[in-house]
Structure 1
Amino acid sequence: MEIEKVRKEQAWQLRHEVMWPERDLSYVQLADDEKGVHYGLVDEGTLISVVSLFIDGEDAQFRKFATRRSDQGKGYGSRLLRYMLEEAYQAGVKRIFCNARSNKVSFYEKFGLTVTELQFTKGGKDYVVMERFFTAEP
């Protein structure tokens, strides 16, 4: 298995399959996908997990983190997330955040992210903004 940069179109396919299969493909496409770096965990040519990183100065947001349903719980997403956090740190990011589904908060806490007071609902799902400040290497 390798972690590599993938095209936004590849990310869209996995996002759609995992996150919003009942919606149109356009629902998982972000207006600023061109500005992001899309990382994928690839096994023998198959995209297993994907996450998109958007850096804005010393702040960054990661979005649309998805792992194939059949491969969840095997540590693949964790491996990709650790890699992406290291890439953000190496790029000079001081604060990273995400819009986490409320039922995934404990997963992100394992990576040093903490819950903020910001919450919202989108598409019938509840989200909370989580963030991490880099004070040392991830």
Structure 2
Amino acid sequence: MVKYISAGQTLPLRSLVLRNGLPEDQCIFPQDEVTGTFHIGYFDKDQLVSIATLFPEDHPEYGSKGFRLRGMASDPVFAGKGYGAALIKFVIDELTSANAAYIWCNARSSAVAFYTKLGFTMISEEFEIAGVGPHFDMIRLLDVK
């Protein structure tokens, strides 16, 4: 089940999956508490198994009404079960209802196929994020009402 969660609830999975076990206080994003930011999680029974953070940020080449997806992560024990896809589908519905124009992200190269299946397209060449690895910018245009 998808639920809104707090920024603090995202930190254990960010640490485990995205930051190679760094202390949770080093996994905080500057945007975590910015107005308009929201965090969602997928719960299997009572266990938080997948997370994502979204905040208003326009991509420099795609105009206004953009949201950036960041910190998408699934517990490796639960990977491949569709929980991450459920989060993205929830986000698409929520942001479409809010009249956002698009969602964009820096997708790890290893996650490109996941995002492509959900309607995202690559909009950059591969680039390196220091200490994290190779990425592509990807975007999913929304149906603006």
Equivalent residues, number: 136
Q: Which residue of 2 aligns with 1:17?
A: 16
Following TM superposition, by how much is the alpha carbon of 1:104 offset from its aligned partner in structure 2, in angstroms?
Answer: 1.2
Three-state SS of the structure 2 residue aligned to 1:34 is coil
The 4+ residue runs of structure 1 with deviation greater than 6 A are: none
Residue 132, structure 1, aligned to residue 140, structure 2: yes
Per-residue CA deviations over 1:111-131 (Å, capped at 9, x if unaligned) read 111001254212140011001
Measured in 1, the distance between the counterparts of 2:121 and 2:52 equals 19
Measured in 2, the distance between the counterparts of 1:62 and 1:112 equals 14
Q: How does 1:32-47 map to 2 (within 5 A)?
A: 32-35=31-34, 36-47=37-48
Measured in 2, the distance between the counterparts of 1:70 and 1:93 equals 33
Select between 68-77 and 112-121 the one with higher mean Cα deviation. 112-121
Percent of residue pairs bearing the same amino acid type:
29
**One-letter amino acid matched to 2:42:** L
Three-state SS of the structure 1 residue aligned to 2:80 is coil
Following TM superposition, by how much is the alpha carbon of 1:89 offset from its aligned partner in structure 2, in angstroms?
Answer: 1.1
Following TM superposition, by how much is the alpha carbon of 1:136 offset from its aligned partner in structure 2, in angstroms?
Answer: 6.6
Gapped regions of structure 1 (runs ≥ 5): none
Higher relative strand content: 1
Measured in 2, the distance between the counterparts of 1:114 and 1:129 equals 8
Residue 121, structure 1, aligned to residue 122, structure 2: no
**One-letter amino acid matched to 2:139:** E
Distance 1:120 1:112, change over 3 A: same
Following TM superposition, by how much is the alpha carbon of 1:66 offset from its aligned partner in structure 2, in angstroms?
Answer: 0.5
Q: Does the CA contact (< 8 Å) of 1:100 and 1:130 recur in 2?
A: yes
Three-state SS of the structure 2 residue aligned to 1:117 is coil
Three-state SS of the structure 2 residue aligned to 1:31 is coil
Gapped regions of structure 2 (runs ≥ 5): 58-63
TM-score scaled by structure 1? 0.89
Distance 1:133 1:55, change over 3 A: same
Measured in 2, the distance between the counterparts of 1:128 and 1:47 equals 27
TM-score scaled by structure 2? 0.85
